[in-house]
Structure 1
């Protein structure tokens, strides 16, 4: 196993990484489904708390392998087998989602998480022994992961009222392991490869949201509910998800991921993007259920299940993608303003449609600004060319 070149050209996701992402989205779909069900029952505290807890496990399991495979990817048989073990751990975790929501029983979630962690520890030890990551770096990662995972197993023994506050502490310790490891010696992760990997996972999670909403529309139609408000809601939901996709991929993150610090902030911030994208699908399905009186929520409560995650998504995309590209002018303030309007749509008569119109408006303004910038650049090039021709003629 050797370190990859940070400037390697045409560094793209491998078929193994694509398969890895698709399997992890199975767990995301399970979590989103339980979020939808518990919100429909009028139990938002249990729904949101369990969602954030379990989603952290699947997100962090995905993160650990993604950054490792960006820096070291021999693509040999042992590496492929260990990757499939991590996938198995994710599927075990997915099987434990329902007990975690229903009975606050996180045993199977922790078992799946432990399988993923042990497999990743073996990869870091292999990298350390091969000298790919440096012995101290590889050992620091392996030791940190092992210690924190031991604490997660002990966490299961705590009383339920202690688990939530201790969870926050253990999550912070988990997040600190890469920070400590990279301080010993930065790994050779590839900026454009990382940006592509995150983009692909965002795309898949958004696709899962579309599937969730589509299933809810089908259930409503099967129940002989075919009112115009159903189709308006479905159209508003599609418009929202399409706009979310457009905004995320409007700019390339690989251009500004030029330091470990930027990589940490950008990578960790995607917890909000991934989580919000998954929650939007549950919210859209819940609003469709509310039309057929299958959800025990007020109109404003049902609306908030869409508007709140969309607003979170907008702010996260603004912080991670928009601000690094636009340092000045009024353009960067469009996203905070859009998030505010989306939250205000919670109390409107058709909140999902209003959300779709606001997000589509943000996309339209962004496209117009980009076209205007291209025209200014073309005029500047033409003026420089004329100046060079005039200078040559004078000479």
Structure 2
């Protein structure tokens, strides 16, 4: 039986919104960086891997501060001092995003470690102002994150590829350790409505980047009919995916759920990666310089990842009266796979791929509306 909790009203603060503003730049920088692989077709997979290795610590830096502020932010004096300091280190880390990663390794690791160290300091500071279980959880998270940071920082004493391995070993341990201690974190549930709103705002940021991507396509060919059609279809797809996400956000999610927030947190990593990948691939497919088969795989894969991760996140946080049909979801992803194979095995024009994704996106939105409509009729 899912536990319920009555949460006091809590709005996202202006400080949090200012904090998010820096991440607008970070998301834009990483997406722009991935689009530049158009000039290096022989390194597409390599640079895609590097892109993920840059997006992941960026996302985790935002998550770290967001989760702390959600649980313990009330009793931190002058939180702006901590968050503004983190924002400076994020600027340093964002400026270090480079496909030639060896050139910016030191500034990148200093930026990431600076953000995380301020988060750890906040946990230890907050622990002094709480008692019993809250103090225990705050100290636990502070210690876990400190271990990951120290491992990552030790990479500065190494050279060559081994330093990258050590740095990311620390980052992935930083991400993994809270997951392994999920039961202990349940002692201090998150303020779920606030957390859901924070992740919704981050998703808005990534959807905004898709608009930037298609605007870049149109910028130099405003009067070209084919370009106008391509951008129009891309915009409609983005709008439908946005509507599907936020319809579920508004009508499916149980805002009174008591949870440690981990499924919501880790699931949104894949949602955000999917949206960012969609933005980049829409742009790269239009340019037409890279291997079309690989880009189609990325394009359809990003949409499938969006469908599946969204379903998991909202399915596990849904209201009790909402019913999801697993067969509808399997059918939707199966249809998407059929369209992908059709476009891979034939020489259909690129517009066909957009139209097929548009059909799947519409079906996904219809399923969401149908589920919520049935609930309203029953009630």
Q: TM-score range by the shorter chain?
A: 0.7 to 0.9
Seen in structure 2, the aligned counterparts of structure 1 residues 287 and 75 have a Cα distance that, compared at 3 Å, is farther
Map of 1:267 onto structure 2 = 265
Task: Report the Cα distance in structure 2 between the residues aligned to 1:280 and 1:154, rounded to whole angstroms.
Answer: 35
Match of 1:322 in 2: 315
**Deviation (angstroms), 1:26:** 0.9
Q: Whole-Å Cα distance in 1 between the matches of residues 108 and 198 of structure 2?
A: 24
Tell me: CA distance 1:62–1:330, structure 2 relative to 1, closer, same or farther (3 Å): closer
Structure 2 residue matching 1:186: 3-state secondary structure:
coil
Contact 2:12/2:194 (CA < 8 Å) preserved in 1? yes
Report the TM-score, using the length of structure 2 for normalisation. Answer: 0.84
SS in 1 for 2:73: coil
Paired residues for 1:151-170 under 5 Å: 151-158=151-158, 160-162=160-162, 169-170=169-170
Rate the CA distance shift 1:134–1:72 in 2: closer, same or farther, 3 A: closer
Whichever of the two has the greater Rg, that structure is 1
Q: Measure, in 1, the Cα distance between the counterparts of 2:75 and 2:354.
A: 44
What is the aligned residue count?
A: 360
CA separation of 1:329/1:372 partners in 2, compared to 1, >3 Å: closer, same or farther?
closer
Q: Offset at 1:141?
A: 2.2
Q: How do 1:353-364 and structure 2 match up within 5 A?
A: 353-364=355-366
| 1:289-322 CA distance string (max 9 Å, x none) | 22xxxxx313333333322211111110011113
In structure 1, how many angstroms separate the alpha carbons of the residues matched to 2:75 and 2:242? 30
Give the 3-state SS of the residue equivalent to 1:131 in structure 2. Answer: coil
- CA distance in 1 between counterparts of 2:323 and 2:127 reads 47
Residues 331 and 31 of structure 1: CA distance in aligned 2, closer, same or farther (over 3 Å): same
- Residues 146 and 245 (structure 1), Cα distance of their counterparts in 2 relative to 1, 3 Å cut: same
Supply the distance in 1 between the matched residues of 2:84 and 2:357 (Cα, whole angstroms): 39
Residues 301-312 of structure 1: pairs in structure 2 closer than 5 A: 301-312=294-305
Q: Which residue pairs with 2:248 in the alignment?
A: 251
Distance in 2 between residues matched to 1:323 and 1:33, nearest whole Å: 33
TM-score (norm 1): 0.81
1:323 Cα offset (Å): 5.6
Conservation of the 8 A alpha-carbon contact between 2:134 and 2:187: no
* Equivalent residues of 2:254, 2:318 under 8 A apart: no
**Alpha-carbon contact 1:273-1:316 (below 8 Å) kept:** yes
- CA 1:341–1:164 in 2, change beyond 3 Å: closer, same or farther? farther
Runs of 4+ in 1 over 6 A off after TM superposition: 326-330
* 2:151 and 2:169 in contact (8 A); partners too: no
What RMSD, in angstroms, separates the aligned Cα atoms of the two structures? 2.8
1:198 — aligned with what? 199
| Aligned-pair CA distance for 1:70 | 0.9
Tell me, in whole angstroms, the C-alpha distance in 2 between the residues paired with 1:49 and 1:256: 38
2:76–2:122 contact (8 Å) kept in structure 1: no
The equivalences for 1:1-395 within 5 A come to 7-39=6-38, 41-42=40-41, 43-74=43-74, 78-98=78-98, 100-101=99-100, 103=102, 105-131=104-130, 134-158=134-158, 160-162=160-162, 169-179=169-179, 180=181, 183=184, 186-221=187-222, 226-252=223-249, 253-255=253-255, 257-260=257-260, 263-290=261-288, 296-322=289-315, 324-325=317-318, 331-346=325-340, 347=343, 348-349=348-349, 350-375=352-377, 377=378
Higher mean Cα deviation, 209-218 or 67-76? 67-76
SS of corresponding position for 2:78? helix
Query: Which stretch has the larger CA shift, 41-50 or 87-96?
Result: 41-50
2: distance between equivalents of 1:126 and 1:181? 22
Match of 1:391 in 2: none
Shift of the alpha carbon at 1:167?
5.9
Structure 1 residue 9, shift from structure 2 partner: 2.6
> Cα–Cα, structure 1 residues 185 and 196, in superposed 2: closer, same or farther, change >3 Å?
closer
Deviates more, 1:70-79 or 1:277-286: 70-79
1:390 corresponds to: none
Cα distance, 1:274 vs structure 2:
1.1
Match of 2:128, SS? helix
Change beyond 3 A, Cα 1:74–1:366: closer
Secondary structure of the residue aligned to 2:7 is coil
Shift of 1:374: 2.8
